[in-house]
């Protein structure tokens, strides 16, 4: 290891973690992942392309796919990992903000590689990719990075910017062109016709769980 993790400032390539394995270079004063390497939060690491794709499309640091499971105690579906793809995390969380090169036209250069797999390079900054319904977005790109049919709306139920559906209504993290049986449209959302009854009816819960897990 050297001194600087991907996305942080540098004066020379030798300062960047991953330089010794030809995976990092100081470009425009930013430690940048190159030559097919990608950030694991600590260094620019060579990933198997399939593993990197799994990490980017998964919902946790182990590259796990997620399914909706129902919690009657919390009265809401939980979007949770189904199983770990690997015993060791594919990447490590970084709390500091990091920059990336988004205007480079070099062949085979991937701006997102300097960011974590759950982030996207947006206008020179590594920003978290958000699922439909998640709050705290600052740009449409943060939402569409997970689901193309979403955008960042300031008109949410909590008054906090939220990823909404471009076409359709939002229901528990999924976009529906038409609200399913037992729900009705209400602004940008599908709302329960009778929420108390829903959480007492196992068949209705199973039906909705299958519907949510069949979506994208």
The pLDDT tens digits of the residues spanning 99-137 come to 999 887 776 789 999 999 999 999 999 999 999 999 999
Same domain as 118, residue 44: yes
- Could you tell me the CA-to-CA distances from 166 to 43, 147, 189, 199 in Å, in that order? 36, 10, 12, 29
pLDDT tens-digit series, residues 197-207: 999 999 999 99
pTM: 0.86
Q: What is the pLDDT of residue 63?
A: 84
Q: What percent of the chain has pLDDT over 90?
A: 69
Same domain as 115, residue 191: no
Same domain as 95, residue 20: yes
* Domains: count for the chain: 2
Give the residue with greater pLDDT, 102 vs 31: 31
Same domain as 191, residue 105: no
Give the domain range for residue 59: 1-64+90-129
* Tokens 């694991």, located at residue: 40
Beta bridge partners of 16: 4
pLDDT tens-digit series, residues 167-209: 999 999 899 999 999 999 999 999 999 999 999 999 999 999 9
Q: What is the pLDDT of residue 37?
A: 96
């Amino acid at each position: 290891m050297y001194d600087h993790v991907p996305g942080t400032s540098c004066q020379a390539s030798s300062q960047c973690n991953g330089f010794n394995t030809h995976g990092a270079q100081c470009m425009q004063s930013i430690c940048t992942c190159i030559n097919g390497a990608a950030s694991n939060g600590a260094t620019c690491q060579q990933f198997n392309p399939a593993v990197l794709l799994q990490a980017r499309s998964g919902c946790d640091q182990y590259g796990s796919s997620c399914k909706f499971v129902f919690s009657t105690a919390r009265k809401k579906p939980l979007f949770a990992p189904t199983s770990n793809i690997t015993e060791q995390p594919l990447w490590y969380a970084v709390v500091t903000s990091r920059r990336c090169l988004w205007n480079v036209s070099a062949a085979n250069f991937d701006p997102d590689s300097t960011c974590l797999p759950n982030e996207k390079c947006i206008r020179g900054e590594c920003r978290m990719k958000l699922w439909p319904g998640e709050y705290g977005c600052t740009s449409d790109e943060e939402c569409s990075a997970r689901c193309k049919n979403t955008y960042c709306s300031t008109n949410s139920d909590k008054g906090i910017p939220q990823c909404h559906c471009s076409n359709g209504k939002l229901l528990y993290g999924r976009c529906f062109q038409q609200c399913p049986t037992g729900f009705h449209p209400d602004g940008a959302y599908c709302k329960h016709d009778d929420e108390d009854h829903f959480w007492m009816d196992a068949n209705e819960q199973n039906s909705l769980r299958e519907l949510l897990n069949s979506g994208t």
